[in-house]
Structure 1
């Protein structure tokens, strides 16, 4: 019999504290800390905390793990609620805690499903744990509009596991990270040669396979001169941006900076660069568009858009000058761009009445923007966090574009986590990602997920660099998230089928022993 684990001897308060700490470790694995082993350690501790527990204990520990996970990783929500939503400190703290506590229910569900149905299956710990983790991340990407943040796989842009990204996407990297943890855990927990061989084989396939895939070139540069790209990062204070009296100053900033940029292939302004509806500002945009066209420059700007039928308002991106097209954001941020339960919440506190929080969602079949002869797929702010949306957009695009206004999160870790997601989208899809922001980090990211040019945060600046049109598709671009999501679900079904095909007595013996 295996020796008792330290967590099995912990008093309740210590087990609760260990669950919180284990969840918080994931944040250390991600930007800006980038201590990638912390994510594996987090999952290993969770395996230990859920080993031998009752369902009730598992639900409690899973929720506490989620509270540490989201409490540490999304603490930046407090900034937008307190600083820009004008909520007093006690209320802002309460709303932040409620937000994290609600998200922690996803980890509660994971822990409950794992202990109730997965842990006792053949290879339930080794393979079931990572498969269920992927399904949990996927569930979080769409349930109640989704919150695809803090995926384990984002920590591995620069590790050997990155080789899997163009094949499996970030979910595959999350699977590999969780598999590394579960493999190490059962190797430590069990003292049998067969277990050691299984765990070592899984780890070797995962890490060596990633290293072998890493140099594979899924896409190739087009035979063209690199595009000359420029970003204007205006660093406009969030408190002033939507003030009507400040609009002339904003327009003056943008007008003055453009003179030396005509002649670039693409000039990018951030999300909601001009904080008025495009239809109201069309006369101001027109001379800029004419000058851009004469210099064979495409000007791409974020700007709110009023629908033709009235009553519909969009967070949009337009291409002007030598480009054309308009894109309306599909994935809206709750409370920032629309208010759930609007009739109840509007007017209660300033946070529920933020500027431009009444947007409509754009359709899913919008064509890419045109920038001269090139196709540019735009993703506005939060949308870059959705792997499937980016993969679908990349199928018919030469470049990926994301514009954002991360000013809402101040000097927190949120904007740097957001940048890391953009790096993963570039790596997954083999496309340059052009990222324009209000106050940083604006960046050019190459198809290997590496930043080739970047701005400083919280400064007004012009960032210039080069990007290349890439030909071909990665497997992930072609198939999206479904092979990993479907494969994870299938793996659990196969394990369950093997389990229930065994004689009842053998199942009871396995259930009584330590699961593997």
Structure 2
């Protein structure tokens, strides 16, 4: 195989390897191996065109493996494998363009020092762009690979984006170390740039040491008494759930299980009662009375409709509490159709119930559940760090309700749970995630899962949470720490070409008297 083709294959495999660092495989070191390999291939590429191609192939390898669940969602509910393949392929092709942007941004780095300073900034830029552009798709951000490692503690300072920055920084330093030893082994050159080697090791080690200490910081504190929690996982797949003949059965199940398993806080899943709220007023009244009788606060997910015939993916508190929430960040094609006037000829191929929702306000009043102020997010919303930060306000607890049955038996439910873990670390709060068929779990403020239900099983999760108060650095300053560090790195990269740095010429070690220059 020609070496150029081999490099493309290796770039694709490196991208696919990155998926192994995310849930459910959860092998954090795979992220460093993947990025180090990718950066190494970029640095030995001969020109920008070649680098761009390597970047695009890396992106395809990554997204084709990490978000392949898009096919499951589309093909299952459109009942068309062909449509699922076409739209998933288009999705992967578009997402992979972000890695071309990364290569173009990082191309300004001409020296090893500049690469170590510019690559993490460029990576952060593409992740921010992926969060914001075209309604955003902040899934499988690099920082999530470290959710179960101490490096995730950086999220409490600069969010998941700062974790991504740190992972990228360590990886590019490792790739530069590899390049130095490759250069040393080259029979024509046989030299090591001592300055580059020392700087690479230093920039790789410092974030690791700092991360150990940051991980020991406790940003938030308990307020009030601990509360007992029940998560009811109904496990009704979509065709059962939206079948009108099964509605009474579903309503009866949730009512009886709630009555038989009292707790301070009880969470049902997204659209747990799959019908319009005005149609079930008597049922909801009965739930409210039952919850008050057992001194419980019950969160019920359902669909609300107003006088203007606007539909809302919503949730309401009954019993010992009050408040409601309308989902703000809707899922394109799943809950609404973007550019509807252009796409209307194709909508007949989708068979998605309740796909014409109206979004709620960006910031809404917190829910009160037994005196605990709860910031609620429905499904996909928990993937947006800025929106979670804005809606959190002074909440004591984060709750996420979802119906991950849309993802089928794919990687997505586990990736969604991993996202919830990162939100806990960023905010210093307990997180309760209640899903229709898993992954339902309770997470502590350090991002550790303390209770979890198996997937695809009708079950009840019991546990305890403690209301938390106080603010992490991320909650106080948001993206500014990441921006500050990025600007600092950019300034240092510009200064690295100045006469001040040029005076400090690196020592060159050789083991041959006949050295040929590159």
- Taking structure 1 as the reference length, what is the TM-score of the superposition? 0.90
The question of whether the paired residues in 1 share the 8 Å contact of 2:15 and 2:60 is answered with yes
What is residue 3 of structure 1 aligned with on the other side?
A: none
Separation in 1, partners of 2:353, 2:496: 55
Alignment correspondent of 1:58: 51
The superposition leaves residues 69-99 of structure 1 with CA deviations (integer Å, 9 ceiling, x where unpaired) of 1100001111111122211x23322221111
Distance 1:10 1:325 in 2: 64
Report if aligned partners of 2:395, 2:469 keep a CA contact under 8 Å in 1: no
Distance 1:231 1:43 in 2: 38
Q: Name which of structure 1's ranges 377-386 and 105-114 shifts more when overlaid on structure 2.
A: 105-114
* Alignment deviations for residues 230-259 of structure 1 (CA, whole Å, 9 cap, x no partner): 011000021121122221221122122121
Match of 2:275 in 1: 276
Partner of residue 95 from structure 1, selected from 87, 93, 96: 87
1:304-336 Cα shifts (integer Å, max 9, x gaps): 12134x142211121111111111111111111
In the alignment, structure 2 segments of 5+ residues that lack a partner are 181-191, 504-516
Query: How far apart, CA to CA, are the structure 1 residues paired with 2:46 and 2:276?
Result: 56
- SS for the counterpart of 1:348 is helix
Structure 1 position 497, deviation (Å): 4.3
1:183 alignment partner, one of 173, 181, 186: 173
Aligned counterparts, 1:124-139, within 5 A: 124-139=114-129
1:10 Cα deviation (Å)? 5.4
Task: Map 1:57-456 to 2 at 5 A.
Answer: 57-87=50-80, 89-115=81-107, 117=108, 119-120=109-110, 123-190=113-180, 191-222=192-223, 224-262=224-262, 264-308=263-307, 310-346=308-344, 348=346, 352-456=350-454
Within the candidate set 41, 49, 56, 2:33 is matched to 41
Alpha-carbon shift at residue 55 of structure 1 (Å): 2.4
Task: Kindly state the Cα deviation for residue 187 of structure 1 after the two structures are TM-superposed.
Answer: 1.7
Quick check: 1:347–1:353 contact (8 Å CA) kept in 2? Answer: no
C-alpha deviation, 1:459, in angstroms: 0.7
Q: For each residue in 1:71-128, what CA deviation from the matched residue of structure 2 results, as whole angstroms up to 9, or x when unmatched?
A: 00001111111122211x233222211111111111111112212x2x2267321121
Preserved contact between residue 318 and residue 325 of structure 1 (Cα < 8 Å): yes
TM superposition shift of 1:37: 1.2
RMSD over equivalenced CA pairs, Å: 2.2
Verify the 8 A CA contact 1:429 1:474 in the aligned structure 2.
yes
Deviations 1:201-223 (CA, angstroms, capped at 9, x unpaired): 1122110110112122112222x
Distance 1:297 1:47 in 2: 54
Distance in 2 (alpha carbons) for counterparts of 1:290 and 1:456: 31
CA contact (8 A) 1:345 1:352 kept: no
Structure 2: distance between partners of 1:298 and 1:192: 64
- TM superposition shift of 1:356: 1.4
Q: Distance in 1 between matches of 2:323 and 2:259?
A: 23
Q: CA offset at residue 349 of structure 1?
A: 5.5
Q: Deviations for 1:391-442, whole angstroms, at most 9, x for unmatched residues?
A: 2233310000000110011111110011011011111111000000000111
Matched residue SS, 2:110: coil
Partner Cα separation in structure 1 for residue 381 and residue 349 of structure 2: 22
Paired with 1:274 and 1:134, the residues of 2 have a C-alpha distance of 40
Paired residue secondary structure (2:350): helix
Q: Secondary structure at the match of 2:461?
A: strand
Tell me what 2:23 maps to. Answer: 31
Of stretches 46-55 and 353-362 in structure 1, the one that deviates more from structure 2 is: 46-55
Give the whole-Å Cα distance in 1 for the aligned partners of 2:447 and 2:148.
9
How many Å separate the matches in 2 of 1:312 and 1:487? 44
Distance, in Å, in 2 between the alignment partners of 1:297 and 1:215 is 35
- Between the aligned partners of 1:133 and 1:218, the Cα distance in structure 2 is 27
1:321 & 1:420 partners in 2: Cα distance? 31
Partner of residue 507, structure 2: none
- Structure 1 residue runs without a partner (length 5+): 1-8, 507-513
Does structure 2 retain, via aligned residues, the 8 Å contact 1:19–1:61?
Answer: yes
